[in-house]
Each structure stands twice: as C-alpha cells, then as structure tokens.
C-alpha cells in the first residue's frame, strides 16, 4: 500500500480527516524551509505538500507567486527540491509528501527521470497544475512506472459529464479546488462545499481534499466536515512572509510562527469527528 | 514529423488535440479547461455558420478598411538594388496594425457565446488598442493587462486604450512585459469564468487559440496572394514577416504554405545580439517546453525556468512563439532568422525616408531582414513583406534610442 493510501486508511480508523499544510521549497532559504518541513509532522501535518518554484505559476495568486520567486532567488531547482525530500525521509518514513508544481521544469528534467528520482527521494504523489486530463500522457506512464500517485484537480467548473474523465487516471486522493480562481484569494461558502463534495464523492472512491481559500481554523474545521482532507497554503506563506525582514531574510521566530499556525489548523481538523 | 513524412497539405493542422506535430495542445489548469473547450465548440460552430463569415466580412470591409493595399516599394527597391520589394500594408487598418483582424473575429465569437466582459493581454499595446476598440464598438467592458515596462515605453497606446473606455491593469511581476501580462490575464480568466471571454492576441495559448487566431489573420496572406498575382502575375519569391508570438507571420504565411516555390522567412527579435542573453529569439536560442497553455519553443534555463526576453520592440518581447511556428521550424517549411535592436532601428529610419512610411518597430525587424536579402537577389525576384503596424506609437522610444529629446 502506498504511503498516501496507508495514511488515509489509518486516519479513517482514527475517525478523523487529514490536514495537509503546504510550503514552498527554499522559501525564503533552504535552512528555513527545511526546518518548517521537518517540524510539520510534529505540529500535526498528516500529509505535506511542497511547492516546486516556477517563474510563471499561472494558477497562483500573489502570495505563492512571491514565495516561488523567493525560492528561486535562494537557488531552488528541481534536483534540490528532491534532495529536500530525501533528507526529510531520513527523519520521517511515514508522512506522505506530495510535490505541487508546473509541467515545464518537469519536462525539462525529463519526465521519466524526474519520476524515477522523485520516487527514489521518497515523494509519494504529484500535483501538476497545468496538466489537465487531456494532456495526461506526458506524465502518466512515468508516474505509474515509479508508483507515484497523480493527484488531479477537480474544479467548480468541472461538470458531471467531465468528472469521470478527470478522475480516470487519478490516484492517491482527489484535490477539490473549492473556488473558481487563483490560490489565496477567495473562500468557498459552506453551502458550496456541501453541494460540491457529495457530487465528487458520487464519482470516486478516492479520498477528497479541499484546497484554495482555506485560511482559518474555523474554515479548516468546516472543510474537514465536508471532505477527507484540508489543504492550507497561502495563509501559512503569508505568516512566513510577514515575519521576514525587509531584505526577505527569515527571522529567529519565522519557523515557530508557521508551525504554531500549522498546529492550530491541525487541531481544528482533528476536532471534527468523522 | 520529419520532412520526408510531410502530408499533402501543410494547412490542415492542428489535429484533434490541438497539435501541430508535437507542438500546441492544451496545458491549462482544470478550472479553465471547460472554458477552453467551450471556446473551441463555439468557434467550430461559428466556422460552420455562413452568417458568421458574412458578418465578419462586413465589419472587416466597412469598419477595419480591408482589403489593405499591396504596395510596390519602388524607391526602397532601387536603394537596395536587388529584388522588388512589396509591402502588404496592414498598418493601414483601423487602429494601425493587423491585430484588429483577429479582434474583430473573436469579439463576434464572444458575442455569440453570450459573454459580457472581455479581457486581453498586450505587449506593444496594439492588441490592447484593437481589443479596446472592438469592445467600444460592441459596448462591452474591457480589461487589458500590460506589463509595467511596456506601460512606460508604449504610453501613447495606454492613453488610447483609456480613451476607448478600457481599464489598463499594469503588471509588475517578472520583467513587466508581455509574458507577465499573459499570466495575469489567465489569472483573471480563471477567477471570472462565467461572464468573461479571454481575447488572446497572438497565435499562442491553449487550443483552439493558435488555430483560431491564425484563421482570423490569414486574410492577410489570402489577400496578398491574390494581389500579388494581380500585380505581377506570379507569387513572391520570398515572403517575410516579424515574429513575437507570431500572429502577423502566421497570417501571411498560412495561405502560402502549400506553394513550395515561395520561401517563407520569419524574423525574430535578436535584441542586443543572439549571443547575449538579451534577445527574444525563442526558435534560434530556445528549446521546447510548456508555457501559457501550449507546448512550443521557449527561452528557458537548465531547470526549465522561463527566462526574460529582451527586445526594443514591446510586441516581440516574449520568450515563446506560437506552436505552429515551432512545427514549421522543425519541418523546415519556414526559415527563421533574427534582427537586432540596432538593425531594426536602422530599417525603421530607412523606411521613413525611402517610402514615407513610419513603420512600427515590429515590422522594422522584418524590414531589417529584407535589407539584407533583397540586394543579394536578382532584380526580377519579389520580396513580399508584411507591414503589420505603423510606428506612431514608437516615436518616443525611437527618439530616446536616437538621443533625441521630444
């Protein structure tokens, strides 16, 4: 059983949902992002999503755009992001790690080689934002050959006729993009989630995560009631960014501030009995 | 596809997946995918509807001023001392460039789709002005994304767009040029899926845009081909066009693709030189990758990060190129070359004095190449160049480069 499937199955027996915090690799530097990554499981992360910096992240709002640029400025590359994961794996064998990013750096690395190296580093799944199901074959074979889950996005614009096509070839879990928009901007209403999640649920047996627009513990708890997992990204990055000095350097308490926020969000998710 | 496996026609692409050979496709986030598919369905329906073409023809004739003339540049020909040089004068269109051809087609499509808000990206501002113009004509609100660098160097066009009622949103990410404007236009689209139509200005983006924009721009080559036959009784020896994203070039080339005796030459922006890191020559110096919804040649570093382009011409300052050009490059049907900022400036001034035409800096790149090849060709050969825009918008930038204070 894959790490992702094992984790969701364990949480099911515990009767609770999963909390998935996000960090951008090398934001604002290797040491800080490594400390955040390593501290996340202890702060309540059930799975971890790591952003692979890209110059042109078209689905992301200003918060993650800026985080990516800070990461690139600090020297982030795909190989170095994989090294972050393999380093994490020497401390933590169980927490699933999902890489999120855009297709071009992966194609530049070579899809086959990237999937092989990612699996070797201990990566469990990939979210490639600009790879819709229509273009899935650029990565599907390589990911399957290396037992990497391809986690697809389902959006409010994905209608019932299209859902099966998007879900076909998805594995690990399904990522429901709760708003039509870019990351870190709007928040979905409880009514929207109450209608949307059962619609996706009818079309798949995979766990469903909700992401985009979840910022507070209260919103996280609400999302946890509707779905199986909750992703928070921009709110954590905003906290990190606010702690940086004017030159963009981390402060002594940057890591702590982010991990405290992770803890608060994780507790809110755990407070919801499933 | 190798040259030996060429199909009978080079004009049948793209395939059902929106691909020209290995290029093109639809690389957008799932949120946008249903919208992209709806644009494709609407465009296919419009193509089958004779009423759509009739309506477009009327607007192109009575509002845009088509057909644009074909001009024998006699004084320039004499000065260059070789092949006869003809200009396809798309700079005479309403709004001053070829961009309106595409905007006219897409605004009719947006209307058919019931969309009530239009967004666009622009580099030089020519596409922004053309979009703002058709939005004014149809009474639709218009938001144009434009990089901060371009807002500064194309100030007259920014004011023009505002006069036409458009909102111009400066984009400060990246180098503040066309690439960044396109990123933010796509972010706007994904956040306004119900009412908004994204009117892309070049032959790039997710399918069906590269094919649709090409189709709307092909009127350039269709007219030029007939006008050439009427004027000279034969086709040109070489057809030349400047390339940023590549819409004016695709429009000129496409009707000639199946005329094997017509050499086709695309001129990229070599900026400060192809061997510096300040140019916009995606085909000459880039490699295939995925950006802005399509797979095509891109300027990128070893890690697949997109690198900044540079050109004196805001309209050519883009690190990618339309996917059909990437395919035509790989099969060798079109030859792609480049002209530097300085060569374009020289050609700009030459054209002003030799022909009484102030060209935009974009076609000045094409003209720079014409000044290199025409003198080497026999006098009865013909070079057809697309004069895709006029240079009124560029006089401030040119003055600055020439050290003249206005």
pLDDT in tens, B38-75: 999 999 999 999 999 999 999 999 999 999 999 999 99
In a domain, B87, yes or no: yes
Examine the domain organization and report whether B255 and B317 are in the same domain.
yes
Q: In a structure prediction context, what are the per-residue pLDDT tens digits for chain A, which is 274 residues long?
A: 899 999 999 999 999 999 999 999 999 999 999 999 999 999 999 999 999 999 999 999 999 999 999 999 999 999 999 999 999 999 999 999 999 999 999 999 999 999 999 999 999 999 999 999 999 999 999 999 999 999 999 999 999 999 999 999 999 999 999 999 998 888 898 899 999 999 999 999 999 999 999 999 999 999 999 999 999 999 999 999 999 999 999 999 999 999 999 999 999 999 999 8
What is the 8-class DSSP label of residue A73?
Answer: H
Given B197, B213, B229, the domain boundary residue is B213
Residue of A nearest to B31 (CA): A155
Examine the domain organization and report whether B238 and B380 are in the same domain.
yes
Q: Tokens 């605004």 — which residue?
A: B107
Examine the domain organization and report whether B191 and B256 are in the same domain.
no
Examine the domain organization and report whether B176 and B263 are in the same domain.
no
Given B182, B213, B244, the domain boundary residue is B213
Helix, strand or coil for residue A100?
strand
Q: What pLDDT score does B212 carry? A: 98
pLDDT in tens, A144-180: 999 999 999 999 999 999 999 999 999 999 999 999 9
- What are the chain B neighbours of A65 within 8 Å (beta carbons)? 173
Examine the domain organization and report whether B230 and B358 are in the same domain.
yes
**Burial (0-12, 13-18, 19+ Cβ within 10 Å), A8:** buried
Fold of A3-151+159-167+236-270: TIM Barrel (3.20.20)
CATH number of the CATH domain containing B104 = 3.40.50.1100
Enclosing domain of residue B233: 66-96+218-401
Examine the domain organization and report whether B246 and B324 are in the same domain.
yes
- Does the beta-carbon distance from B33 to A132 stay under 8 Å? yes
In a domain, B3, yes or no: no
In a domain, B16, yes or no: no
In a domain, B195, yes or no: yes
Examine the domain organization and report whether B353 and B228 are in the same domain.
yes
- Does the beta-carbon distance from A182 to B305 stay under 8 Å? no
> For this structure, is A60 an active site residue?
yes
Examine the domain organization and report whether B272 and B385 are in the same domain.
yes
In a domain, B149, yes or no: yes
Number of domains in chain B: 2
Q: What pLDDT score does A151 carry? A: 98
ipTM score: 0.96
Order of strands across the sheet that contains B70-72: B70-72, B84-88, B382-386, B238-242, B263-271, B334-340
- What are the chain B neighbours of A184 within 8 Å (beta carbons)? none
Contact B83, B382 (CB under 8 A): yes
Ranges in chain B, pLDDT < 70: 1-6
- What are the chain A neighbours of B174 within 8 Å (beta carbons)? 55-56
Residues of B with CB under 8 A from a CB of A: 17, 25-35, 173-174, 179, 183, 186-187, 190-191, 193, 288-293, 298, 300, 302-306
Contact B241, B385 (CB under 8 A): yes
What are the DSSP calls for B200-228, one per residue? --SS-SSTTHHHHHHHHHTHHHHHHHHHH
In a domain, B1, yes or no: no
Examine the domain organization and report whether B393 and B336 are in the same domain.
yes
Q: Tokens 């000639």 — which residue?
A: B256
Among the partner residues A105, A134, A152, nearest to B26 by beta-carbon distance: A134
Tokens of B61: 């004739």
Examine the domain organization and report whether B384 and B331 are in the same domain.
yes
Q: Looking at A49, A124, A149, A228, which residue is catalytic?
A: A49
Examine the domain organization and report whether B117 and B177 are in the same domain.
yes
In a domain, B7, yes or no: no
Order of strands across the sheet that contains B23-27: B19-20, B23-27, B293-298, B287-291
Q: What pLDDT score does B1 carry? A: 46
Residue B151 CB-half CA count within 13 A: 17
- Does the beta-carbon distance from B17 to A156 stay under 8 Å? no
> For this structure, is A205 an active site residue?
no
In a domain, B137, yes or no: yes
Residues forming a β-bridge with A174: A208
Residue of B nearest to A78 (CA): B303
Examine the domain organization and report whether B173 and B71 are in the same domain.
no
Order of strands across the sheet that contains B142-147: B167-171, B142-147, B117-122, B196-198
Residues of A with CB under 8 A from a CB of B: 54-56, 58-59, 61, 65, 72, 77-78, 102-109, 129-135, 152-159, 162, 166, 177, 180-182, 185-186
Given B196, B213, B230, the domain boundary residue is B213
């Amino acid at each position: 059983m894959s790490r992702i499937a094992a984790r969701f199955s364990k949480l099911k027996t515990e009767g609770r949902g999963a909390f998935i915090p996000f960090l951008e690799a090398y934001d604002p530097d290797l040491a800080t992002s490594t400390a955040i990554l390593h501290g996340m499981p202890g702060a309540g992360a059930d799975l971890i999503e790591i952003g692979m910096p890209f110059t042109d992240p078209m689905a992301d709002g200003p918060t993650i755009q800026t985080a990516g640029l800070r990461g690139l400025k600090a020297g982030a590359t795909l190989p170095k992001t994989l090294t972050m994961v393999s380093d994490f794996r020497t401390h933590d064998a169980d927490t699933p790690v999902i890489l999120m990013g855009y297709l071009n750096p992966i194609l530049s690395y070579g899809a086959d080689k990237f999937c092989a190296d990612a699996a070797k580093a201990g990566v469990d799944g990939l979210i490639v934002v600009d790879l819709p199901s229509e273009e899935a074959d650029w990565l599907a074979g390589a990911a399957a050959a290396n037992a990497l889950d391809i986690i697809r996005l389902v959006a409010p614009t994905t209608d019932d006729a299209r859902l099966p096509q998007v879900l076909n070839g998805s594995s690990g879990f399904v990522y429901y993009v709760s708003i039509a928009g870019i990351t870190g901007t709007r928040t979905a209403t409880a009514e929207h989630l109450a209608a949307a999640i059962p619609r996706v649920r009818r079309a798949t047996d995979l766990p469903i995560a909700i992401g985009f627009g979840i910022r507070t513990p209260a919103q996280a708890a609400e999302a946890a009631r509707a779905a199986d997992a909750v992703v928070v990204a921009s709110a954590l990055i905003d906290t990190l960014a606010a702690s940086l000095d004017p030159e963009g350097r981390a402060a002594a308490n940057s890591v702590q501030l982010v991990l405290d926020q992770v803890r608060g969000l994780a507790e809110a998710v755990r407070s919801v009995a499933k | 596809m190798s040259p030996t496996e060429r199909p009978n026609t080079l004009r049948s692409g793209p395939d059902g997946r929106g691909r020209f050979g290995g290029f093109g496709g639809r690389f957008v986030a799932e949120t946008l995918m249903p919208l992209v598919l709806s644009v494709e369905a609407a465009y296919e329906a419009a193509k089958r509807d004779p009423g759509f073409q009739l309506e477009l023809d009327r607007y192109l004739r009575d509002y845009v001023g088509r057909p644009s003339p074909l001009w024998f540049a006699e004084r320039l020909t004499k000065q260059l001392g070789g092949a006869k040089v003809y200009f396809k004068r798309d700079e005479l269109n309403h709004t001053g460039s070829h961009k309106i051809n595409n905007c006219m087609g897409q605004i009719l499509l947006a209307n058919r789709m019931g969309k009530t808000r239009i967004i666009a990206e622009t580099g030089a501002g020519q596409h922004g002005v053309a979009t703002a113009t058709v939005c004014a004509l149809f009474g639709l609100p218009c938001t144009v994304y434009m990089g901060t660098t371009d807002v500064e160097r194309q100030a007259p066009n920014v004011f023009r767009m505002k006069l036409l009622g458009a909102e111009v949103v400066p984009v400060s990410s990246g180098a503040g040029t066309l690439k960044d404007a396109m990123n933010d236009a796509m972010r706007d689209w994904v956040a306004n899926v119900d009412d908004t139509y994204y009117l892309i200005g070049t032959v790039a983006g997710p399918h069906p845009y590269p094919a649709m924009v090409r189709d709307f721009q092909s009127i350039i080559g269709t007219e030029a081909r007939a006008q050439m036959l009427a004027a000279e009784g034969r086709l040109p020896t070489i057809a030349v066009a400047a390339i940023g994203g590549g819409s004016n070039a695709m429009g000129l080339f496409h009707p000639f693709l199946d005329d094997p005796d017509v050499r086709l030459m695309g001129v990229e922006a070599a900026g400060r030189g192809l061997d510096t890191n300040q140019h916009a020559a995606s085909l000459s110096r880039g490699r295939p990758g995925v950006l802005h919804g399509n797979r095509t040649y891109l300027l990128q570093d070893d890690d697949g990060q997109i690198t900044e382009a540079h050109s004196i011409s805001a309209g050519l300052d883009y690190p990618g190129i339309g996917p059909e050009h990437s395919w035509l490059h790989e099969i060798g049907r079109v030859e792609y070359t480049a002209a530097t900022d300085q060569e374009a400036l020289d050609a700009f001034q030459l054209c002003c004095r030799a022909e009484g035409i102030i060209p935009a800096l974009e076609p000045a790149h094409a003209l720079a190449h014409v000044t290199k090849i025409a003198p080497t060709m026999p006098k009865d050969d013909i070079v057809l160049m697309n004069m895709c825009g006029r240079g009124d918008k560029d006089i401030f930038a040119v003055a600055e480069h020439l050290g003249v204070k206005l």
